[in-house]
Amino acid sequence: MIGLSPAIIFLVAGVLLPLFPATARRYIVLLVPVVGVALLLLTPHGNYGQLSIFGLDLTTYRLDKLAFVWALIFHIAAFIGGLYAFHLKDTTQQVAALLYQGAAIGAVLAGDLLTLFVWWEITAIASVFLIWARRTERAYRVGMRYLLIQIGSGVILLTGVLMYLNDTNSLAFDNLGLHSPATLLIFIAFGIKCAFPLLHNWLQDAYPEATVTGTVILSAFTTKLAVYALARGYAGTEILIWIGAIMTAFPIFFAVIENDLRRVLSYSLNNQLGFMVVGVGIGTEMALNGAAAHAFSHILYKSLLFMAMGAVLYRVKTIKASELGGLYKSMPWTTFFCIIGSLSISAFPLFSGFISKSMILTAVAVEHHTIVWLILLLASAGVMDHSGIKIPFFAFFAHDSGKRCEEAPTHMLTAMGITAFLCIAIGVYPDALYAILPYPVDYAPYTTAHVITQLQLLMFSALAFVALFLSGMYPPEIKSLNLDTDWLYRKAAVSIIKPVHSFVATTQAQIFAGMAAMAVASVKKIDRIAGPQAWLSRTMDSTAMVALVVGTLFIFLLLYLF
């Protein structure tokens, strides 16, 4: 069994799952990641599944320190997601989740670009069913947009891979760098999945429209797979520093004014990805360790926040901040776990976000990227506002909505409890996470300067929120439609294309009508000349026929002689 990729376990289980009864399927979904992580832990680091196809050397399973971090947290996320979704009897969601999770694990364990592409596409196809499983017209349309973008990323990736193969005669998935059109295309494909600025809208469009459990699962895999791909292929690429800095800053403004709390978390997810991208762009050992640690921590606390909001949606049937409030009375445990997630994402000391984000900030400071460091500091304050305070405050405390409901189901609370424990455990004892990072760690998060600086930042952020809220200057939670850059292709482009399409359709109709008229006129002329009543169709008597033949022969004779 050693050398067998855990992704195969997920794939086989996903294919065979419909053959089992509903009760058994729930336990299989929990068992698969347990078997997978056992297989992962028992396998020595090295290359496995090496093949040669058409003269191309493939490494379908590569396990090293970098891949191990992502593969491990993906297994943990798969188990927590399965436990959170234990109530499900929907075969579609269960199968899609297993295939999606397995494909993401297979992608981070891929040692060549062709294997990466295959798993890349499976993640796209499988994950869309977690959106469509909501079975609404809106979910269908969102899913189609999501699938178009994800498949588009795959097409760009394949094009880049083929060009790279032509340039280098290699498919090895190592550091690629931005040295050719081929690696640029691969970089763009990774950027789409990582939700780079202007390429990010699929995230906020799709994740909030997925099912209660689907959003939790989606939040853990696709974008973090892209961060891994960037860390593997483009570590130290300077443009990533500025891309990541922009990613940390711009979602803050959208998150503050957004009414849908799952969409707030989606913008927040985009913001947190920016910290990881900056770490990859810096490219030093400390920065890459920080990116890996932050991806690990982020999957946990973001899943916890999405689980809390999913539990609210499951019980109350709405996730609009304007329609919530006062739910701490009905859902005290969900409130408690949500607060832990909020403290973690805000990077409070003794919580997981602190021991990973501070590593990235330190790496940026060490490399003297002062402007980027200031942007990240501002972004950290913004996170405290929209995820640290806004999410729990408006969902559970502000303006009591009068809604009363049951607490979240036991299995959901258990999943949230495990995740909350891990958020605290990593924050209290970071050495457990630091021990599995790609490079040796020479960093102490709990220094006086780190702790005091972070607490000052968080306290001033909280003070700013309180002052703005009490003064009425904080953006109110109202039913609204907030425009993002996807307006450019969903509305502006459509408004341009519609008249163009109308003009083309009208012109085409006129051309076809003219051609049809010409054809009718031609037929009429032919009918007048050779139709049943035309003179060419008339019957001639024998005398006239003989005269016609003799006359014709006489003409030919004259032409021949002269």
> What is the structure's pLDDT at 484?
72
Across the range 430-457, mean pLDDT stands at: 91
> What is the structure's pLDDT at 534?
62
Please tell me the least confidently modeled range out of 161-170, 304-313, 469-478.
469-478
> What is the structure's pLDDT at 128?
96
Contacts of 389 (CB under 8 A, 6+ apart): 342, 461, 462, 465
Across the range 288-297, mean pLDDT stands at: 96
> What is the structure's pLDDT at 546?
74
> What is the structure's pLDDT at 556?
76
Q: Which residue has the tokens 């220094």?
A: 447
Q: Give alpha helix (H) positions in 112-238.
A: 113-132, 137-168, 181-194, 201-206, 212-233
Q: Who has greater pLDDT, 67 or 543?
A: 67
> What is the structure's pLDDT at 415?
97
Across the range 38-57, mean pLDDT stands at: 88
Residue 1 has pLDDT above 60, yes or no: no
- 58: helix, strand or coil: strand
Contact in structure between 274 and 379 (CB atoms under 8 Å): yes
Contact in structure between 426 and 432 (CB atoms under 8 Å): yes
Pick from 393, 420, 183, 427: which is nearest to 300 by CA?
Answer: 420
Residue 2 has pLDDT above 80, yes or no: no
Most confident of 81-85, 254-258, 451-455: 81-85
Please tell me the least confidently modeled range out of 19-23, 519-523, 540-544.
540-544
What's the pLDDT tens digit per position in 341-375? 999 999 999 999 999 999 999 999 999 999 999 99
> What is the structure's pLDDT at 530?
62
Pick from 262, 248, 243: which is nearest to 302 by CA?
Answer: 262
Residue 161 has pLDDT above 60, yes or no: yes
**HSE value, Cβ hemisphere, 13 Å, CA-based, for 119:** 30
Q: What is the mean pLDDT of the chain?
A: 89
> What is the structure's pLDDT at 313?
94
> What is the structure's pLDDT at 19?
93
pLDDT band at residue 83 using 50, 70 and 90 as cut-offs? very high
Q: What letter represents residue 36's amino acid?
A: G
Contact in structure between 439 and 293 (CB atoms under 8 Å): no
pLDDT band at residue 532 using 50, 70 and 90 as cut-offs? low
Residue 536 has pLDDT above 60, yes or no: no
> What is the structure's pLDDT at 562?
62
What's the pLDDT tens digit per position in 212-268? 999 999 999 999 999 999 999 999 999 999 999 999 998 888 888 888 999 999 999
Contact in structure between 237 and 277 (CB atoms under 8 Å): no
Residue 510 has pLDDT above 70, yes or no: yes
> What is the structure's pLDDT at 491?
72
Pick from 359, 384, 353: which is nearest to 287 by CA?
Answer: 359
Residue 512 has pLDDT above 90, yes or no: no
Across the range 195-205, mean pLDDT stands at: 89
Tokens describing residue 191: 């950027």
Q: Who has greater pLDDT, 483 or 503?
A: 503
